[in-house]
């Protein structure tokens, strides 16, 4: 499964060169070309899925296990102080390339990487509405 004109399909297949850290039958791990910090890497599925909504369940499990392996190794190589795993789904959430990928972003004490949000307060009405509709 692949999509015409999808840049990550081409990178995952090796048709466009990339700084590849790891590769297996299911995934390619590359350095992000516009890193948020030194060592920012991406896990790309080899097959085309728009995002996590569509990702095959087996691959979804494998992706997290791979992310774990990669960051456990990379934290020693990079000497970073922490890691964010980020995975954006759809434009409203910041997705710009519509082919499943996970960001592995090394964090260095005091860095200015902007991953965060204003902490709100859980409203009773929202809580009831969500709990009642999910169950």
- Pick the piece of the chain touching ligand AMP (CB under 6 A) from 58-66, 93-101, 105-113, 123-131: 93-101
Whether residue 101 lies in the annotated active site: yes
CB nearer Zn ion, residue 84 or residue 89: 89
The contact pattern for Zn ion, residues 25-54, with x = CB under 5 A and - = no contact, is: -----------------------x------
5 binds ligand AMP (CB under 6 A): no
Strand order of the sheet with strand 101-107? Answer: 20-23, 27-31, 41-45, 101-107, 82-86
Cα distance between residue 51 and residue 101, in whole Å: 7
Q: Which residue is nearest to Zn ion (CB)?
A: 6
- What 3-state class would DSSP assign to 86? strand
φ/ψ of 23, rounded to 5, equals: -150, 140
The continuous run of DSSP H or E covering 101 comes out as strand 101-107
CB nearer ligand AMP, residue 41 or residue 80: 41
CB nearer Zn ion, residue 26 or residue 111: 26
What's the token pair of residue 37? Answer: 């910090």
The Cα-based distances of 51 to 44, 60, 71 in angstroms read 10, 10, 21
Chain positions contacting ligand AMP, by CB under 6 A: 7, 18, 30, 32-34, 42, 88, 94-97
Chain positions contacting Zn ion, by CB under 5 A: 3, 6, 8-9, 48, 99
């Amino acid at each position: 499964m692949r999509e015409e004109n999808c840049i990550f399909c081409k990178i995952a297949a090796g048709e466009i060169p990339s700084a590849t850290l790891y590769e297996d039958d299911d995934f390619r791990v590359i350095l992000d070309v516009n890193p948020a910090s030194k060592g920012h890497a991406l896990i790309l599925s080899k097959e085309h899925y728009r995002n996590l909504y569509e990702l095959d369940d087996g691959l979804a499990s494998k992706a997290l296990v791979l992310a774990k392996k990669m960051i456990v190794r990379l934290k020693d190589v990079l000497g970073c102080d922490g890691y964010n795993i980020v995975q954006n789904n759809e434009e409203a959430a910041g997705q710009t390339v519509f082919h499943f990928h996970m960001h592995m972003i090394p964090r260095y004490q005091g860095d200015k990487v902007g991953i965060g949000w204003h902490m709100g307060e859980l409203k009773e009405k929202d809580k009831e509405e969500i709990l009642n509709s999910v169950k």
